[in-house]
Amino acid sequence: MARTVLGPSVTRVFVAGTIKDVRPLLEELPLRDVTGLRNESGYKAWFDAKARLVANRLRIRNANNPRVNPGLRWGHATKILALFMREMVLNSRLFSDAEAERIAPRLYTP
């Protein structure tokens, strides 16, 4: 899913090599933690913390990239994470149907 989400339509604004920085992070996120979150504020806190991690990876090569700054975290990092979470919750086998139904309303739309 990380490979799919980090396609050309999402990554075209980044400096070459950015995908190599971000994809391993997405692949290692503790997604099963989301099943233990019982409300929207819990998901928001989890999402914000992970978006910060994605933004930090994006900054490795893009700190001075005017195509993504300002807006690296709240624009680009959240878009990547929101797309990734949607794919993982709705289109993977990581979550059961019941878990996906419970989590889906909390997902953000990029």
Segments making up each domain of the chain, as ranges: 2-106
pTM score: 0.95
For residue range 64-96, what is the model confidence (pLDDT) as tens digits? 999 999 999 999 999 999 999 999 999 999 999
Long-range contacts at 18-21 (CB < 8 A, ≥ 24 apart)? 18/57, 18/58, 18/60, 18/61, 18/62, 21/57, 21/58, 21/60, 21/61
pLDDT tens, residue by residue, 19-71? 999 999 999 999 999 999 999 999 999 999 999 999 999 999 999 999 999 99
Quote the pLDDT of residue 27. Answer: 97
